[in-house]
Chain A
Amino acid sequence: MTSKPLKQIHLAAHFPGVNNTTVWSDPKAGSHIEFSSFAHFARTAERARFDFLFLAEGLRLREQGGKIYDLDVVGRPDTFTVLAALAAVTEHLGLTGTINSTFNEPYEVARQFASLDHLSGGRAAWNVVTSWDAFTGENFRRGGFLPQQERYSRAKEFLATANELFDSWHGDEIVADQTTGVFLRDAKAGAFAHTGQHFDIHGQFDVPRSPQGRPVIFQAGDSEEGREFAASSADAIFSRHATLEAGQAFYADVKNRLAKYGRRHDQLLILPAASFALADTDAEAEELARAVRRQQVSGATAIKHLEFVWNRDLSSYDPEGPLPDIDPDVSDHHISKGRAQVRMYRDPLATAREWRELAAANNWSIRDLVIHTGNRQTFVGSPATIARTINDHVQADAGDGFILVPHITPTGLDDFADKVVPLLQEQGVFRTEYEGPTLRHHLGLAHPDAVDDRVAS
Chain B
Amino acid sequence: MNGMTTPSPLSPHLQEGTPVSATPRNPLHLAVALDGTGWHPASWREQVARPRDLFTAGHWADLVAEAERGLLDFVTFEDGLGLQSSHYGELDGRTDQVRGRLDAVLTAARIAPLTRHIGLVPTVIATHTEPFHISKAIATLDYVSTGRAGLRVQISARPHEADHFGRRTFPPIDLSELQSPAGQERLTDLFDEAADHVEVVRRLWDSWEDDAEIRDAATGRFIDRDKLHYIDFQGRHFSVKGPSITPRPPQGQPLVTALAHQTVPYRLVARQADVGYVTPQDSAHARAIVAEIRAEQEAAGRAGEPLHVFGDLVVFLDDEQAAAEDRRARLDALAGEPYTSDARIFAGTPQQLADLLQELAAEGLSGFRLRPAVAGHDLPAITRGLVPELQRRGVFRTVYEADTLRGLLGLARPANRYTAA
Contacts and interface: CB of A to CB of B under 8 A. Distances in A.
B80 A206 contact: yes
Contacts of B44: 176, 178, 183
A349 interface: no
Interface string A57-89: 011110000011011111111101110110111
A108 B137 contact: no
Interface residues of B, number: 83
B13 to A, nearest CB: 24
Contacts of A182: 95-96
A78 B137 contact: yes
Interface string B82-103: 1110000001011111111111
Interface in A173-208: 174, 176, 178, 181-187, 189-190, 199-204, 206-208
Nearest to A204: B83
A50 interface: no
A342 interface: no
A33 interface: yes
Interface residues of A, number: 74
Nearest to A39: B113
Interface in A194-247: 199-204, 206-208
Contacts of B84: 206
B8 interface: no
A105 interface: yes
Contacts of A73: 222
B45 A181 contact: yes
A45 to B, nearest CB: 16
Contacts of B146: 35
Given A174-B100, A182-B96, A81 B137 contact: yes
Interface in B198-224: 208, 213, 215, 217, 219-224
A341 interface: no
B130 A87 contact: no
A141 B132 CA distance: 9
B111 A68 contact: no
A141 B109 CA distance: 25
A75 B106 contact: no
Given A138-B241, A183-B95, A85 B112 contact: yes
A25 interface: yes
B322 interface: no
Contact of B82 (A115, A200, A206): A206
Closest 9 CB pairs of A and B: A84-B109, A85-B144, A138-B241, A81-B140, A300-B220, A115-B103, A78-B140, A77-B140, A176-B51
Interface of B: 1, 42, 44-47, 49, 51-52, 54-57, 80-84, 91, 93-103, 105-107, 109-114, 128-133, 136-137, 139-141, 143-144, 146, 160-161, 163-167, 208, 213, 215, 217, 219-225, 228, 237-243, 245-247, 334
